[in-house]
Every structure is written in structure tokens, then in C-alpha cells.
Amino acid sequence: MKLFNDNEVFQKERPTNITKEQTQALYEKIADEIIKFGHSKAEEREFIIEDLSGISFNENGYEIAKKLEDNCSATYDFDEEFVSYLGGIYRDLDSVHNKNIQDWVEANGIKPKISKGQELMVEIDLNRHKKKGAIVYVNGWDEKRAVYYIDEDPKKNGGTIIAYEVVEKRCKLLPEVNQVTDLSLLDEN
């Protein structure tokens, strides 16, 4: 028997970062892989973790390697393979963050509120390309990540990925217009 409902235990807002504990566990995993593939030594594991904690992984592998080389506590064997590996670490961070979002979606029962094909008017900029006044369409969604695919072309497969809550707060549903296609129905005679 549960003492709390899941949606009372989990946060109500979309997770925007991974936790400190998740970050630490990820750095430990990455350090183990760096050692496993021979890019540093096992006795330097704690220094590798310390070095990783001071790096932004929003850069390419070369820039990350340069920062490690210039400001590191551990000793690394830099080669093309290692630089490539460093450039892909952001995927590991994204994977953990996406799992947090999936858990949040599940715990809070979040579902799309806007149907596919719905025409919307942007009332507050969605991003630098989808400005106020633009007419956009919901071309689909990803329920696991709670995002809509939004585009100006209603027939496009996919579109710009934007969080449910952003679209729902910043856009206005436009009514479906019932157009008369047979003009003879309008003739009163």
C-alpha cells in the first residue's frame, strides 16, 4: 500500500536538469570508461571525476580535450578516438535528463491537450522562428518527452520540438472554419 500518490511525490514542473547525484554517477561512469579504453590510469580516477566536473559538455570534443589538457588534475592520453568520445558525452547527459522527463510525465499523467492538425496562433514567441502572430499547426507529439511537433506547414511530418506546457501557455487555439465548398448551397433562389 502506497502512503503517497506518485504525483504528490514527484515534482510538478518539468525537470530542467539532472540531479547532483545523477551527475556524480555519470562522471564516475565516464571516468571508468576513460580508464577502460586506456585514455588515463585507474589510480587517477578521482582526479578524472574532478576534471569532468569542471567541464561544459556543450562544446565539441576538441574544445573539451583542450580544456582538460590545460586545466586537468589527471593525466590523459589524447588521440582522435578520445576526442571523439569527449564530443559525445552530451548524449549521456541528455539520456539521463530525458529519463527524468519520462518519469515526470508518467508520475503526473501528462498527456497532450491539443489534437494533431490543430491550427494555433502564437500569442507569445515560442522561439526565435515562431514569433507572435504566426499561424502554426500541431503535426504530432512525443508523449514520453511531453513535446509537440509544431510547424507552419500543416502537412509536414514533424516540426520544431516544443514542450507541451510552452505551446499550451503561449498559443491560442484557432476555431476550425466550416467552409462551404458548394457555392450553389448559398443561392437562395
Residue pLDDT, tens place only, 148-172: 999 999 999 999 999 999 999 999 9
* Cα maximum dimension of the chain: 94
139: amino acid identity, one letter = N
Residue 187: the pLDDT is 44
What span, in angstroms and rounded, lies between the C-alpha atoms of 114 and 118? 7
In the chain, alpha helices (H): 6-9, 20-36, 45-53, 61-70, 80-87, 89-108, 164-170
With a cut of 70, say whether residue 178 has pLDDT above it: no
Q: Calculate mean pLDDT across residues 91-104.
A: 95
Which residues have a Cβ under 8 Å from the Cβ of 118 and sit 6 or more positions away?
A: 137, 138, 173, 174
With a cut of 90, say whether residue 143 has pLDDT above it: yes
What span, in angstroms and rounded, lies between the C-alpha atoms of 189 and 186? 9
Residue 118: the pLDDT is 95
Per-range mean pLDDT, top range of 5-9, 64-68, 179-183: 64-68
Q: Calculate mean pLDDT across residues 106-115.
A: 94
Asked which of 2-16, 43-57, 69-83, 125-139 is least confident by mean pLDDT, the reply is: 2-16
What span, in angstroms and rounded, lies between the C-alpha atoms of 62 and 39? 15
Establish how many alpha carbons lie within 13 A of residue 109's alpha carbon, considering only the half-sphere containing its beta carbon. 4
**Helix (H), strand (E) at residue 168:** helix 164-170
Residue 177: the pLDDT is 56
> At 62, phi and psi to the nearest 5?
-65, -45
Q: What is the pLDDT of residues 124-137, one digit of tens each?
A: 999 999 999 999 99
